Amino acid sequence: MAVYAPSKFTSLSPHARALRKKKVLRRVAAHGCFAIACREAGISATTLKNWRRADPEFAEALEVSRAEAAELLEMEAHRRAVKGVKEPVYHQGKVVGHVRKYSDALLTTLLKGANPEKYGNRSAGVSIYSQTNIQTTGETPEGRVEVSPERQAMLRRIRSIILGAYPEAAARTEP
């Protein structure tokens, strides 16, 4: 006589489905990762996609959970960038003190997110290749590329802007 073993793909009862949906929402809010939340709730990613399509309230709750996770990440990034993290200082294998380390990269990212007009990428949406597509007029015997006079003027202007912003670079560039 065969022993009945339920398939892991058997449909869930409404109560079990509701419990798993709640668990997915809690886990997504905790860390923001759908794949891990599915694994922790014992469902597949396909099941999650089906639930999102079939249940608009659940889909909205899932987006709220994702936003909560994003806020937690932003708070942690702020803490590391502004308040810093204490790291131990070692001497001969023993902790002799602590130093507070700050993350300039996180601070830059937070500034760009908070005020993209002021701190964001100023060339966003602009392809540098389309803006500075240099048309060559031929190669010289030295292997250098000749550039049209219009492009030369543009490149001189770019160089002057860069040197104006970074005067220390003038010593490293050729005239």
Which residue would you say has higher pLDDT here, 59 or 160? 59
Burial (Cβ within 10 Å: 0-12, 13-18, ≥19) of residue 147: middle
Residue 53 lies in a domain: yes
Name 139's bridge partners: 145
Q: Which residues form the domain of 98?
A: 82-119
Domain count, the chain: 2
Residue 98 lies in a domain: yes
Angle at which helix 45-54 crosses helix 56-78, to 10 degrees, equals 120
Residues 64 and 94 in one domain: no
User: With contact defined as beta carbons under 8 Å apart, do 43 and 21 qualify?
Assistant: no
pLDDT tens for each residue of 5-56: 454 556 888 899 999 999 999 999 999 899 999 999 999 999 999 999 999 9
- Assign 3-class secondary structure to 63-106: HHHHHHHHHHHHHHHHHHHHHCEEEEEEECCEEEEEEEECCHHH
Residues 111 and 66 in one domain: no
Residues 55 and 104 in one domain: no
Residue 62 lies in a domain: yes
pLDDT at 135: 42
Residue 149 CA to residue 59 CA, distance in Å, equals 58
pLDDT tens for each residue of 79-136: 998 899 999 999 999 999 999 998 888 888 888 888 888 887 655 444 333 334 444 4
* Rg of the chain taking only CA atoms, in angstroms: 28
Residue 36 to residues 41, 60, 97, 140, Cα–Cα distance (Å): 9, 19, 37, 59
Residue 172 lies in a domain: no
Name 100's bridge partners: 86
Specify the pTM: 0.56
DSSP state of 125: T
3-state secondary structure of 4: coil
Residue 47 lies in a domain: yes
Residues 60 and 95 in one domain: no
For the cut 90, the answer to whether the pLDDT of residue 168 exceeds it is no
Residues 59 and 105 in one domain: no
pLDDT tens for each residue of 53-66: 999 999 999 999 99
Residues 53 and 95 in one domain: no
